[in-house]
Chains A and B, each alone.
Chain A
Amino acid sequence: MTNRIPIVLAAIAALAIPVLTADTYVIQLLNIAMLNAIVVLGLNFATGWTGQINFGQAAFYGLGAYATAIAAKAGLPWIVTPVLSVALVLVASLVLGLPTLRLRTYYLAMTTIGFGEIVRLIIVYWEPVTGGTSGLRTIPGISVFGFGPQGQMQHYYLLLAALALASLVAVRIRRSSLGRAMIATKDSEIAAEQSGVDTTRTKLLAFMIGAVYAGLAGCLYASSIRFVSPDSFSGVQAVLLMTMLIVGGMGSIAGCIIGALALTLLPEALRFLGQWYLVLYGLGVIVVIVLLPGGLASMIAMFPLRRLGAR
C-alpha cells in the first residue's frame, strides 16, 4: 500500500541494536520504551483517532501491571496473568466509559483524571497487597509451561515482537470500517452519525481497546521489569504518555512509536545536564509542537524516501 522502506529500515535497526550494544542498562531502557510505545499506541485509538481526551491510560497501565504482579507473587501460573490484567482493565474502562462517552470530550478528560488519582491512592494505601509506595519486588518472570525469556536481551526480542503485533493490530483496525468510523467521529460526530456510525459505541470501543493495550503492556512490564511502584503509573506518567502521542504525531502509528522512544530515551541521554535537563526537554517539546504540528512522524514524509518507494 504505502512506502515500506522506512518500516524495513526501522525493523532492521531494531533487530540489530542488541548485537551492537551489550549494555544492559541501554537494553533495559529500550524495553521500557517499547512498553511505553504499546501504551501510547493504545492511547492513540481514543485520543489520536477518535478525538477523546483520555488521561486514564497510565492508570490502566498500572492496573495491568499490579494485577499481574499480585497474581504472580501469589503463585498463580504466569499464563493466567495477562487474562487477569485484561479482564480488570476491560471492566474498569467499561464502567468509566459507558456513562461519560455519551457526553462531550472534556467529560472523559475529567473522569479519567479522577480515575487515575483513585487508582494511585488504592496502590499507595492498600499496602498489604500492593506494597504501598515502596512497590512490589521480585515479581516472577514470564513462563509458559516452563519456557520463558532469560536476561535483558531475550526480553528485548519478546517485547519487540509484542510491539510489532500491537502495531499490526492497530494498522488492521485503521484500515477497517471501525478505524474509519473512529476518525469520522473525531472530524464530525454528527456527520458520522448520519452516515450510520454509532458514535457512542465507536468511542467506547476505542477507549476499551486502548485500555486493553495498556493492560497487556502493564502485564509485560510487571513480568519483564519485575518491579512495580506507584510512580510508574501516576498522573505525571499520564501526561507524559499524552506528550509522547502529541510529539510523535497524533493519529500516526509510526508517530506513537517514535514519540514513546524519543521521550523515554531522551531524559536519560540528557541526564548529564543535571537540573537544566527539564528546561531543554520542555523547550524541545515546544519546538516540535510549533514547528511540526504533525509530530516527529511527519518528518518521515519530508525525506525523499517516498519517491524512491513509488518507483
Chain B
Amino acid sequence: MTGAPIVSARGVTRRFGGLVALDGVDLDVPSGIVQAIIGPNGSGKTTLLNALSGASHADAGSIRIGGAEIFRLKPHRIARLGLSRTFQNIRIFGDLSVLENVKVAAACHVRSSLFNIVVAGARQQATESDIEERARQALDLVGLAHRADDRARELAYAQQRLLEIARALASEPKVMLLDEPAAGMNTAESMTLLETIGKLKARGITILFVEHNVRLVMGISDRVAVLDFGKKIAEGTPSEVQRNPLVIEAYLGRRHRHA
C-alpha cells in the first residue's frame, strides 16, 4: 500500500426512482494503485464510476479527488482536477482523426483565447505543437501512433478502446477510471490492454476499473472492492476477496437462483 487516498468517497448514494443504485458507498483508493470494482450485473459499478466522474451525479455523499471536493461539479471541472475516464459503450469522436481525438483531451489544461486562435501567432503555434506532442506520446503508449491520421471511426473495436485510454491519458490525470476496458476484446487484445494498464501504473496514475474478466482483475489489481445491490460488501487484496464468504454468496448464490 502506497500513499494517502487520492480518491475518497463517503456515503455516495444514487437513486433512480424507487431503485437505490448506490446505497451509502464508502471508498478510499490509495494513490498509485490499481483498484478493481467488481460485482454482479446491476450491482452499481458503472453508477459509481458515473458518480465519481460527474457524468451522472450522486444524490448524496462526498467525493474527494486529491483532497478537492468534486461532488456535483461539472465533468469538465472534475477532468481538470485530474480525473479522466473511458466508457463501457465506446464514445470516441468519430468525425475527428485519431490524433485529434487525443488532442481534445491534451488541451485539458490549456486555454487559448479566440484572439490568439484567429491571429495564429508564435505563441498559439507553440501551444498547438505542445498539445500535439503530448497527444502523440499518449498514442505511442497505447500503440496507435501509426493510425494517428486516420478517422477515429475507421478503427477496429479494440483499437477504439485503446484510443479512449490514450485520450484519457492525454489530460494528464492523477486518477483514471476504466469502465470494462476488456469488454469485447480477444485474448491477445486483452494482453495488450494488461500491458498498457501496467504502463499507466508505472507513470504513477491511480487506476480504478470495473471489469468482468476475473483473470484480468486478479492479475493486475492491488485491491478489489465488491459491490452488491448498491452496497460495498467486501474489500481487500484479490486473494482476500476471493476467499470472502459474502463475495462467494453474492456471485454463486445468484447464479444458483438463475439456474
B-contacting residues of A (Cβ < 8 Å)?
169, 172-173, 175-178, 180-181, 183-184, 186-188, 190-199, 205, 209, 251
Instruction: With A190-B55, A191-B92, A209-B114 given, name 4 new contacts (CB 8 A).
Output: A178-B117, A183-B95, A196-B79, A196-B80
Q: Given A193-B76, A196-B76, does the pair A184, B110 have CB atoms closer than 8 Å?
A: no
Please name the 5 residue pairs, one residue from A and one from B, whose CB atoms are nearest each other, closest first: A196-B108, A193-B75, A177-B107, A195-B105, A191-B91
Chain B residues with Cβ under 8 A from A194's Cβ? 53-55, 75-76, 78-79, 84-85, 168
Q: Is B236 in contact with chain A by the CB < 8 A criterion? A: no
- Write out the residue numbers on chain B whose beta carbons fall within 8 Å of the beta carbon of A178: 112, 114, 117
Residues of A within 8 A of B168 (CB): 194-195
In the assembled complex, the Cα of A195 lies from the Cα of B127 at a distance in Å of: 18
Asked, given contacts A169-B118, A193-B79, whether A177 binds B53 with beta carbons under 8 Å apart, the answer is no
Which residues on B sit within 8 Å (CB–CB) of A192? 76, 93, 104
Bound-state Cα–Cα, A71 to B127, Å:
41
Candidates A169, A172, A191, A251; contact of B95 at CB < 8 Å: A251
Chain A residues with CB under 8 A of B127: 177
Residue of B nearest to A208 (CB): B114
* B202 at the binding interface (Cβ < 8 Å): no
Asked if B220 CB lies within 8 Å of chain A CBs, one says: no
A236 CA to B93 CA, complexed, in Å: 33
Q: A173-B117, A184-B96 are in contact. Are A196 and B107 (CB under 8 A)?
A: yes
- Measured in the bound complex, the distance between the Cα atoms of B79 and A199 in whole Å is 13
Q: Bound state CA distance, A191 and B171, in angstroms?
A: 12
CA distance A183 to B117 in the complex (A): 16
Interface size on B, residues (CB 8 A): 40
B167 close to chain A: CB less than 8 A: yes
Asked if residues A196 and B92 are in contact (CB atoms below 8 Å), the reply is no
B190 within 8 A of A: no
Minimum CB distance partner of B110 in chain A: A177
Across the interface, which residues of B come within 8 angstroms of A172, CB to CB?
Answer: 117-118, 120
B221 CB within 8 Å of chain A: no
Expressed in whole angstroms, the Cα–Cα distance for A184 and B80 within the complex equals: 17
Q: Are B117 and A187 in contact (CB under 8 A)?
A: no
Q: Which residues of A contact B117 (CB under 8 A)?
A: 172-173, 176-178
Contact of B128 with A by CB under 8 A: yes
16 example contacts (A-B, Cβ-Cβ < 8 A) are as follows A172-B117, A173-B117, A175-B128, A176-B117, A177-B128, A180-B96, A184-B104, A187-B95, A190-B75, A190-B87, A193-B74, A194-B53, A194-B55, A195-B108, A196-B76, A251-B95
Contacts of B228 in A (CB 8 A): none
Task: Looking at the assembled complex, report how far the CB atom of B153 sits from the nearest CB atom of chain A, in whole angstroms.
Answer: 9
Give A120 to B30 CA distance when docked, in angstroms: 61
Cα-based distance from A209 to B74 in the complex (angstroms)? 24
- By a CB distance below 8 angstroms, the chain B residues around A187 are 92-96
Q: Does B62 contact A (CB under 8 A)?
A: no
Chain A neighbourhood of B226, CB < 8 A: none
Asked if residues A180 and B75 are in contact (CB atoms below 8 Å), the reply is no
Given contacts A173-B118, A176-B128, A251-B95, contact A181 B79 (CB under 8 A): no
Determine which residue in B54, B91, B108 has the highest number of CB atoms from chain A within 10 A of its CB, and name it.
B91
**Assembly CA distance A26 to B205 (angstroms):** 64
Complex Cα gap A172–B91 (Å):
26
Contact with A along B89-115 (1 / 0, CB 8 A): 001111110001101110111101010
Distance in angstroms from B154 CB to nearest chain A CB is 14
The CA-CA distance from A172 to B54 in the complex, in Å, is: 32
Cα distance A194–B53 in the bound complex, in angstroms? 7
- CB contact between A198 and one of B76, B92, B95, B131 (< 8 Å): that residue: B76
CB contact under 8 A between A191 and B93, given known A173-B117, A196-B108? yes
CB B138 to nearest CB in A, in angstroms, measures: 12
Nearest CB of A to B149, in Å: 11
Q: Are B103 and A177 in contact (CB under 8 A)?
A: yes
**Chain B residue at smallest Cβ distance from A202:** B76
The yes or no answer to B137 lying at the interface (CB within 8 A) is no
Contact present for A180 and B104 (CB under 8 Å): yes
CB < 8 Å neighbour of B93 from A184, A193, A199: A184
Complex contact B79–A195 (CB within 8 A): yes
The answer to whether the Cβ of B159 comes within 8 Å of any Cβ in the partner chain is no
Per a CB cutoff under 8 Å, which of A173, A195, A205, A209 touches B104? A195
Bound state CA distance, A99 and B259, in angstroms? 53
Are B118 and A177 touching (Cβ within 8 A)?
no
For A178, the closest partner residue in chain B by CB is: B117
